[in-house]
């Protein structure tokens, strides 16, 4: 533990062993963006394990028809907690944690604009996450899932009203996410201000690393799209506690209005989760292909287009609600349109690799799998925009397959790539390439074995969120296959954890720049000193370190 702490703090070698309490105190009161970033990512990974266990239990229950691994009430709590945890307690903290760590380093700044607000954001997230999980205590006991929420991660009204969800489980969902939401908005504001107001000399907006641009877009989306969720949750709170009728259909209220408000947040949310994944690979692919990213201006413009367009597609989650043909067609149009800037990015990445000298270190392996899996995810997304097809497969395992290809095949894979890429910078040690390969191959096999068949299951009639299914539907075979994939994924995660522990203890020293990369974070020590840079960097192009390493052929004139 103290080795880890010393390492993070930049104290290399066998320094003085400090008492555990002092170390913990330092971490608890820290406002340093690097430490907060690490805390975000570590917490997110811990919640990943919890949500993974929830998913594994569900896959066990569904491996055959009519099983009784868990009672129906518990299953319903499991899928609700799995979705809620993955979106709010794994995805968001990890992507914002990385941004926390990397953005100041990439722009040559000393910290984020508001360090104390940064700390507030982290603790709001952690408190919310712990509050949500406290719901497992009491209620119906652990086997019954406690009083954990059981209304689905998007908590449709009026199921969430007092009449249909008596007790406190929905309140746990509502309050914990409300609290976390404030923290997320705070962190987004912090990132925007930092990026706009604290760049080092020479770093015009046109010279920002693609990662920073994308996190700027993500932060802007969060500032606009998260408050509507908070608003809807406040309305739900008023309904449940003060007798208001926002979503009370008995009093003339509208159940569909919750959906509009939720998805107005919910759709940008999934881009808020995925665009950081794009940002990771936009740094990884060029470095491991040994080529500058192809079409920087277009990549940035496409990201901004995605940010804007993502606010116009929300009702494609509601094609079966009965909005009427004109609205259905309009949202089909906007949804298909957003595929264009998203697809363009894939072309830019492939064009970056084209003509390169690709080195398949572990980060690059994850980035390559991402390309195929995200292509698949994007194409099933286009299929889902075809409204009549959507009428058949919405609310089925086809959609489950689609969004797991986006969020696992896309986001989780890129997160692992990012961890392997930046771990040396954060800790000063390299992760094992050999274990990295085992991790990668186990995970890619397990993930695809689990989620590819789900496309088919949706198309042969299997809806979502069912704790069991009849024996005479012909669904068993592919459910068995899907459940088998879990073993591989679990093994992969285990290998990853072993890799991390071993690397922290006796990993090879990384040095400042183990990957021969080009952005500013690689110009300082690994791990960076608390003040980040000894002297404030001055940059003349998008790849300051390329310019330093290739003084005969700097980037400037080409940009």
Partner 1 sequence: MSSRGRVGMICLIIAEASLFAVFVVAYLYYLGKSLNGPFPREVLSVPILGTVCLLSSSVTVMIGARALGRGAVGRSGAWLFATFLLGAVFLTLTGAEWSRLIAREGLTIGTNLFGTTFYALVGLHASHVIVGLVMLALITVFAWSRALGPANAERVELVSWYWHFVDGVWIVVFTVVYVVGR
Partner 2 sequence: MLRLACGVLLLAAVTIFTTSPATADGNGGVQTPSIFAPVSTPAYAIRELTWIVLVITGAIFLVVAGLTVYAITRFRRRQGDDGREPPQVYGSLQIELAWTVVPILIVVVLFLVTTRYIFAIEGRPPVPEALEVTIVGHQWWWEIRYPKLGIVTANELHVPVSDPAHPTPTFITLQSADVIHSFWIPQLAGKMDVVPNKTNRIWIDPQKPGGYVGQCAEYCGLQHAGMLLIVAVQSKEDFEKWAAQQQAPARNDAGVQAGRELFSSLACINCHAVRGTTANGVFGPDLTHLMSRRTIGAGVIQNTPENIRSWIDDPASLKPGALMPAMKLSREDLDKVTAYLLALR
For partner 1, which residue of 254, 334, 392, 468 counts as binding (CB under 8 A)?
254
Comparing CB distances to partner 2, the nearer of 115 and 554 is 554
Spell out, one character per residue from 232 to 251, where the chain touches partner 1: x when CB under 8 A holds, - when not. Answer: x-xx--x---xxxxx----x
Supply the DSSP symbol for 431. Answer: P
Two tokens, residue 80: 């609700």
For partner 1, which residue of 228, 277, 286, 527 counts as binding (CB under 8 A)?
228
**Among 87, 131, 107, 129, CA closest to 33:** 107
Shortest gap between Cβ of 365 and partner 1 (angstroms)?
37
What span, in angstroms and rounded, lies between the C-alpha atoms of 81 and 446? 22
- Which of partner 2, partner 1, none binds 472 (CB below 5-8 Å, type-dependent)? partner 2
Comparing CB distances to partner 2, the nearer of 131 and 301 is 301
How deeply is 297 buried, as exposed, middle or buried, from its count of CB atoms within 10 A (0-12, 13-18, 19+)?
exposed
Restricted to residues 325-364, the positions that interact with partner 1 (CB under 8 A) are: none
Comparing CB distances to partner 1, the nearer of 233 and 483 is 233
Shortest gap between Cβ of 460 and partner 2 (angstroms)?
4
Comparing CB distances to partner 1, the nearer of 32 and 150 is 32
How many Cβ atoms from other residues are within 10 Å of residue 349's Cβ? 26
What is the enclosing helix (H) or strand (E) of 317? none
- Which of partner 1, partner 2, none binds 325 (CB below 5-8 Å, type-dependent)? partner 2
- Which of partner 2, partner 1, none binds 347 (CB below 5-8 Å, type-dependent)? partner 2
Tell me how many residues contact partner 1 (CB under 8 A).
36
- Which of partner 1, partner 2, none binds 137 (CB below 5-8 Å, type-dependent)? none
Shortest gap between Cβ of 197 and partner 1 (angstroms)?
5
Which residue is it, tokens 């392996």?
365
Report the greatest alpha carbon distance in the chain: 74
How deeply is 356 buried, as exposed, middle or buried, from its count of CB atoms within 10 A (0-12, 13-18, 19+)?
middle
Left if phi > 0, otherwise alpha if psi is -120 to 50, otherwise beta: which for 167? left
Shortest gap between Cβ of 267 and partner 1 (angstroms)?
14
252 in Cβ contact with 162 (< 8 Å): no
DSSP 124-184: HHHHHHHHHHHTTSSTTTTTTTTT---STTTT-TTTTSTTTS-SSHHHHHHHHHHHHHHHH
Spell out, one character per residue from 84 to 113, where the chain touches partner 1: x when CB under 8 A holds, - when not. Answer: -----------------------------x
Shortest gap between Cβ of 55 and partner 2 (angstroms)?
17
Shortest gap between Cβ of 180 and partner 1 (angstroms)?
15
For partner 1, which residue of 47, 213, 261, 451 counts as binding (CB under 8 A)?
261
DSSP 31-45: --HHHHHHHHHHHHH
Regarding 224 and contact with partner 1 (CB under 8 A), the answer is yes
What span, in angstroms and rounded, lies between the C-alpha atoms of 441 and 63? 23
Comparing CB distances to partner 2, the nearer of 155 and 191 is 155
What span, in angstroms and rounded, lies between the C-alpha atoms of 275 and 91? 11
Shortest gap between Cβ of 239 and partner 1 (angstroms)?
8
Regarding 259 and contact with partner 1 (CB under 8 A), the answer is no
Comparing CB distances to partner 1, the nearer of 189 and 281 is 189
What span, in angstroms and rounded, lies between the C-alpha atoms of 114 and 534? 21
Which residues are 396's β-sheet partners? Answer: 463
Regarding 253 and contact with partner 1 (CB under 8 A), the answer is yes
What span, in angstroms and rounded, lies between the C-alpha atoms of 291 and 555? 12
Segment contacting partner 1 (CB under 8 A): 190-198, 324-332, 366-374, 406-414? 190-198
Shortest gap between Cβ of 223 and partner 1 (angstroms)?
5
Work out whether the CA dihedral 110, 112, 116, 120 comes out positive or negative: negative
Segment contacting partner 1 (CB under 8 A): 186-194, 314-322, 358-366, 527-535? 186-194
Regarding 215 and contact with partner 1 (CB under 8 A), the answer is no
Interface residues with partner 1 (CB under 8 A) are 113-114, 185, 188-190, 192-193, 196-199, 223-228, 230-232, 234-235, 238, 242-246, 251-254, 257, 261, 264
């Amino acid at each position: 533990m103290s080795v880890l702490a010393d390492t993070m703090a930049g104290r290399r070698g066998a320094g003085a062993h400090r008492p555990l309490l002092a170390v913990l105190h330092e971490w608890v009161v820290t406002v340093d963006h690097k430490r907060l970033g690490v805390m975000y990512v570590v917490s997110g990974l811990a919640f990943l394990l919890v949500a993974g266990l929830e998913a594994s239990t569900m896959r066990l229950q569904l491996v055959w028809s009519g099983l009784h691994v868990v009672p129906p009430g518990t299953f319903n709590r499991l899928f609700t907690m799995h979705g809620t945890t993955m979106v709010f307690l794994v995805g968001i903290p990890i992507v914002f944690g990385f941004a926390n760590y990397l953005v100041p380093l990439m722009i040559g700044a000393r910290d984020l604009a508001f360090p104390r607000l940064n700390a507030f954001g982290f603790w709001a997230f952690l408190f919310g996450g712990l509050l949500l999980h406290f719901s497992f205590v009491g209620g119906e006991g652990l086997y019954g899932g406690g009083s954990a929420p059981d209304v689905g991660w998007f908590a449709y009204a009026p199921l969430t009203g007092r009449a249909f969800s008596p007790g406190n489980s929905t309140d746990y969902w509502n309050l914990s996410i409300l609290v976390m939401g404030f923290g997320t908005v705070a962190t987004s504001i912090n990132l925007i201000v930092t990026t706009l107001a604290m760049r080092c000399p020479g770093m015009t907006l046109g010279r920002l690393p693609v990662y920073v641009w994308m996190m700027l877009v993500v932060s802007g989306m969060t500032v606009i799209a998260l408050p509507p969720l908070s608003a809807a949750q406040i309305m739900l709170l008023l309904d449940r506690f003060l007798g208001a009728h926002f979503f009370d259909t008995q009093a003339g209220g509208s159940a569909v209005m919750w959906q509009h408000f939720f998805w107005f947040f919910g759709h940008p949310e999934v881009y808020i989760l995925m665009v950081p994944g794009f940002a990771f690979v936009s740094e990884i692919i060029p470095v491991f292909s040994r080529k500058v990213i192809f079409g920087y201006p277009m990549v940035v413009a496409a990201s901004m287009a995605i940010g804007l367009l993502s606010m116009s597609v929300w009702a494609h989650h509601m094609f079966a609600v009965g909005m009427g043909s004109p609205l259905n067609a309009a949202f089909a149009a906007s949804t298909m349109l957003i595929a264009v800037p998203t697809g363009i990015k894939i072309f830019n990445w492939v064009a970056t690799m084209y003509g390169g000298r690709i080195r398949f270190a572990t980060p690059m392996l994850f980035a390559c799998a991402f390309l195929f899996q995200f292509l698949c995810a994007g194409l099933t997304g286009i299929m889902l925009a075809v409204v009549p097809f959507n009428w058949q497969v919405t609310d089925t395992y086809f959609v489950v397959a689609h969004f797991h290809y986006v969020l696992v095949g896309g986001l989780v894979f890129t997160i692992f790539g990012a961890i392997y890429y930046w771990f040396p910078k954060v800790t000063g040690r390299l992760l094992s390439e050999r274990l990295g390969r085992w991790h990668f191959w186990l995970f890619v096999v397990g993930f695809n074995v689990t989620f590819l068949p789900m496309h088919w299951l949706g198309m042969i009639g299997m809806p979502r969120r069912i704790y069991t299914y009849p024996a005479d539907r012909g669904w068993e075979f592919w459910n068995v296959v899907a459940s088998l994939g879990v073993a591989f994924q679990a093994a992969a995660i285990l290998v990853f954890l072993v890799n991390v522990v071993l690397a922290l203890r006796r990993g090879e020293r990384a040095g400042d720049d183990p990957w021969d990369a080009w952005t500013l974070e690689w110009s300082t020590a690994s791990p960076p000193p608390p003040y980040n840079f000894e002297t404030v960097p001055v940059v003349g192009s998008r790849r300051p370190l390329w310019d330093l390493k290739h003084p005969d052929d700097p980037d400037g004139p080409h940009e």
